[in-house]
Amino acid sequence: MTTDVRTPPPGGIWEFLLDLNTTDESWTWRRKLNGLIEQHCQQAHAGFGKVMADAMRSGFNPSAHRWLVCDKEWTTHFDPGAEPRTVHRETSTTPLQNK
């Protein structure tokens, strides 16, 4: 049996993150499994479409994988077969802020 090495194991989540320390629209992605970063992009991307395309080249499938998008005020969760869920978060307490 052959396994596609680009397909992440079940339970992983892909995160798309807006850099909160710049005024430019700079996005990165990472794939986490059991809370640990298993894979990440090599450089920031100027635009959400570009970061999505890079993640897809690395095995991301938006219709099959769990993923979320974090910007300055909102986090939207996407689960296969479910409606997206968006939550407002307080930027002063978010753990996703880059230091």
The reported pLDDT for the residue numbered 99 is: 41
Cα–Cα dist 75/26, whole Å = 16
Q: Which two tokens stand for residue 90?
A: 């307080």
Averaged pLDDT of the chain: 84
What predicted TM-score, i.e. pTM, was given to this entire model?
0.77
The reported pLDDT for the residue numbered 91 is: 56
Cα–Cα dist 82/10, whole Å = 17
The reported pLDDT for the residue numbered 57 is: 94
The reported pLDDT for the residue numbered 26 is: 94
- pLDDT category at 11 given cuts 50, 70, 90 is low
- pLDDT category at 89 given cuts 50, 70, 90 is confident
High-pLDDT (> 70) share of the chain, %: 80
Tens digit of pLDDT for each residue in 32-68?
998 899 999 999 999 999 999 999 999 999 999 999 9
What H or E segment, with its residue span, contains residue 50? helix 48-57
The reported pLDDT for the residue numbered 90 is: 72
